[in-house]
Structure 1
Amino acid sequence: MGSMKRELVGFILFGVLVASCEAEQCGKQAGFALCGDGYCCSEWGWCGQGDTYCGNGCQSGPCSGGGGGSPSPPPPPPEGELGDIISRDFFNQQFPSRNPFYTYDAFINAAQQFSSAGFGTTGNKETRTREVAAFLAHIDHETSGLVYIEEIRPGSNYCQPSAEFPCAAGKSYHGRGPLQLSWNYNYGMCGNAIGADLLANPERVSQDATIAFETAIWFWSTAQWNKPSCHAVMTGSWIPTGSDNSANRLPGFGVTINIINGGYECNKESAEANRRIEYYKNFCSILNVSPGENLDCRNQQTF
């Protein structure tokens, strides 16, 4: 994902979705998370604009009714097992030049929305740490160290005709967020999963940091037609088929490169893939975990 990185889903009708949920987005209902600039958090924990959100009971943002305004700094979200692997200090140290948009609290809040999917919480400490290292390596590569929120100079609006996920007039579905979510069908599927209408409002991914991280974790945790999820690969629940073995797609970090951008970086020598591997090995070294085997995809056929 990113420039020439558009392999999120090839044939979406065969996609496997994570369970849809309608989780509140902000305020006391969501660990005191804040909405994006210009949006209010309603009494009921939803982000939006107008009297319904900014009127009486408004919890934060440009409230017009009772309450809200400039809130006191919210208490940090509970960190749980993921926070045991990545502390706030670690996050700040590893992404020293990141855009202020990307916060540690947003990352932890987003991960909690996917606790049932097991992101960063599946398996023993070594397995959990290795998965987190892989995820960090990919978002580091995709955003140049969490610097970029949106794709630079997108070549199109990434709208593919779809009856199920029709493009909204005037909207662009170019890469946004830590894993550069792209294409209308991905915005639609991801929006259904996280309880946000991203098909109608794709810009929310670049306005709300929690949603931005949710899109990345959604893609990471979701199998795509004939591709396993990156989560399944890194936690050992993916078992290669005979076809996978014949294609040299063996469990390890290399398959996650294939899932994310195999058409451009796998089955050949690739400087981009090599950079991902170096990021991964670096995070593994810092987190004191073995990177495992099968790190590259240069001899893997694409899915």
Structure 2
Amino acid sequence: MHYLILALLFSSFSYLKTSGNCLSSLSLNPTSFYSPFFFSCHQNLKNSLTNFEISFDEFRDSLLVNHFPAPSFDQYTNFTSLVNTAISSKREAAMFLAQIIHESIGLRFKKEIACVETGCPGSYHITPGIGIPGRFYYGRGYIQLTWDFNYEAASFDLFNDNRLLVNPDLVAENEEISWSTAFWFWERHVATDPNVKLGKFGASTNHINGFLECRGENLDRARKRFEFYKKILKIFGLDETPDESGCYN
């Protein structure tokens, strides 16, 4: 029985190393076989076996149609290396891409603009026992990861250590980590909502910035996200009516 279990584990690990899917997560933490992110990746192998693909033209046009500059091919390859490990359908991929395009202003800014100079210490306070004094945990990466507890959780899931707490700028300055943390946040905090899987775009906005945009004074920002999504859905060739619900309605 033990030999069978070991054989299955070795087979799964070998598949992950050679398939290209989950490769980025393993390269981030190759020795942490038991990390939560590895098991999430392993459990999502069924997603990597689905048939949806996103071409570079579709990825590029998703930005162009929303009046942003064309992305780099490196951005595309980082996106496609992880999309099948955390996303279950092409529609969900369109939702994810719309959200990160909004968060990063067209995949161009990986640091919260208002916080670059000051660190915004008054906006993102240090949580006792988690954050490190002198570090600033404002929005970084393609999904604008914020708060020390999110940096901690992402760091331990992806690396099995606290490197993102020690050096939060890694989330913005390392391209692979910028993408990995975006997919991590989506998988942990957005895709867990059944309404997201049902295609209710507003539900994804609610989990990303609901306090300010779904119940606050910034409903126009939430609607802008949805406008991005509608255009991307068409670019992806999905013949369905986009569902706005889950945020302000």
Runs of 4+ in 1 over 6 A off after TM superposition: 30-33
Kept after mapping to 2: 8 A contact 1:273/1:296: no
Are 1:293 and 2:243 an aligned pair? yes
Q: How does the TM-score come out when normalised to structure 1?
A: 0.57
* Identical counterparts, % of pairs: 30
Kept after mapping to 1: 8 A contact 2:104/2:143: yes
Q: Which runs of 5+ in 2 are unaligned?
A: 1-12, 32-47
Q: How does the TM-score come out when normalised to structure 2?
A: 0.68
User: C-alpha offsets along residues 71-127 of structure 1, whole Å, 9 cap, x if unaligned?
Assistant: xxxxxxxxx568943112322333352565961122223446xx2xxx22x3xxxxx
- In the alignment, residue 285 of structure 1 is paired with which amino acid? K
**Structure 2: how far apart are the matches of 1:100 and 1:171?**
30
Q: Which runs of 5+ in 1 are unaligned?
A: 1-22, 34-40, 47-79, 123-127, 237-250
- In the alignment, residue 81 of structure 2 is paired with which amino acid? N
**Residues 1-303 of structure 1 aligned to structure 2 (within 5 Å):** 84-95=52-63, 97=69, 100=72, 103-111=75-83, 115=85, 119-120=86-87, 122=88, 128-154=89-115, 156-157=120-121, 158-163=124-129, 165-167=130-132, 169-195=133-159, 197-223=163-189, 229=191, 232-236=194-198, 252-267=200-215, 270-289=219-238, 290-295=240-245, 297-299=247-249
**Structure 2: how far apart are the matches of 1:82 and 1:180?**
28
Aligned length: 203
User: C-alpha offsets along residues 162-216 of structure 1, whole Å, 9 cap, x if unaligned?
Assistant: 32x232x432211111110011111000111111621112111122211111111
Kept after mapping to 2: 8 A contact 1:274/1:296: no
**Structure 1: how far apart are the matches of 2:247 and 2:56?**
32
More helix by share: 2
- In the alignment, residue 175 of structure 2 is paired with which amino acid? A
Aligned-residue Cα RMSD (Å) equals 3.5
Kept after mapping to 2: 8 A contact 1:98/1:146: no
Kept after mapping to 2: 8 A contact 1:257/1:273: yes
Distance change (3 Å), C-alpha of 1:131 and 1:208: same
**Structure 2: how far apart are the matches of 1:200 and 1:101?**
30
- In the alignment, residue 161 of structure 1 is paired with which amino acid? T
**Structure 1: how far apart are the matches of 2:110 and 2:51?**
23
Structure with larger Rg? 1
The corresponding residue for 1:57 is: none
